[in-house]
Amino acid sequence: MDSRFKDFETGHEAFRKIAFNKSKERFRKLVEEGQQPKALFIGCSDSRVMPAMITNSRPGDLFIIRNIGNFVAPFNPDADFHATASAIEYAVSILEVSDIIVCGHSHCGAISALYKDIVQTPENIHTIKWLELGQEAKKVALLAHRDSSPEVLHRYTEKISVVYQLDNLLSYPAVRKRVEEGSLYLHGWHYNLEDGSIEYYDDENFEFKPLIQK
């Protein structure tokens, strides 16, 4: 084992001895009965955002998609490869989750990148294309906070982007069908790295509010 990965080896050993043994019966049932997650969690690939940790979820509770910027590309029924789209379809149509959470977060690198002049190269061609999914949120944010500090502008963009991703989810036939039937619910969250708090999008009042009411 490469010494650079020693921490992971040690961590795995601790998992087997403590966490796995503590939940051994649950893992056994998940193998025998299959997974029945409560929700699809679409989050950012950022290493500081841990879906199971911030929701205190158990194994089998969340079906998780992670990508740069927690973006959802609009439905596009072509013959290309669509990893995020495939996972959405699987969660909604096969696993039949009852909820989808799109979770953005503070200090998101993808959102910050929207405000930088990045030169496209062969090494970042897919990233540059993917970031186009945040451009509409950026336009709205600039209209509302053009004269604000970068901190305020970026936080607002992160939240508005979540709303756009929720709209993109509704372009998926299976998602729209179940939402209209009342068997699937969409949620927009914004996770704050500084204090661990989460705000949710209130689509009736068009604002983000604390998930935990004090």
**158 by DSSP, 3-state: which?**
helix
- Rounded mean pLDDT of 62-79? 96
Which pLDDT belongs to residue 137? 98
> What average pLDDT score do residues 189-200 get?
98
94-111 confidence digits (pLDDT tens): 999 999 999 999 999 999
Q: Does residue 37 have a pLDDT over 80?
A: yes
Categorize the per-residue pLDDT at 55 as very low, low, confident or very high, splitting at 50, 70 and 90.
very high
Mean pLDDT on 4-32 = 93
Give the pLDDT score at 208: 98
Tell me the C-alpha distance between 199 and 178, whole Å: 25
The tokens of 7 are what?
């921490």
Instruction: Quote the CA–CA distance of 82 and 79 in Å, as a whole number.
Output: 9
pLDDT at 1: 56
pLDDT in the model for residue 170: 98
Torsion of CA 207, 89, 34, 180, to 10 degrees: 60
Whether the predicted model's global pTM rises above the 0.85 cut: yes
pLDDT attached to residue 130: 97
Per-residue pLDDT, 99: 98
Instruction: Decide: 114 and 134 in contact? Cβ < 8 Å.
Output: yes
Q: Tokens 């490869």 identify what position?
A: 81
Which residues, 6 or more positions from 169, have their beta carbon under 8 angstroms from its beta carbon? 72, 88, 100, 102, 175, 186
**Average pLDDT of the chain, as a whole number:** 96
Q: Which CATH number fits domain 35-206: 1.10.3720.10, 3.40.50.970, 3.40.1050.10, 3.90.1150.10?
A: 3.40.1050.10
Question: What's the pLDDT at 2?
Answer: 66
169-190 burial code (b ≥16 CB/10 A, e <16): beebebbeebbeeeebebbbbb
CB within 8 A of 145, min separation 6: which ones? 152, 153, 156
pLDDT of 3 strictly over 80 = no
**In the chain, where are the structural domains located?**
1-34, 35-206
pLDDT score for 213:
81
User: pLDDT value at position 4?
Assistant: 75
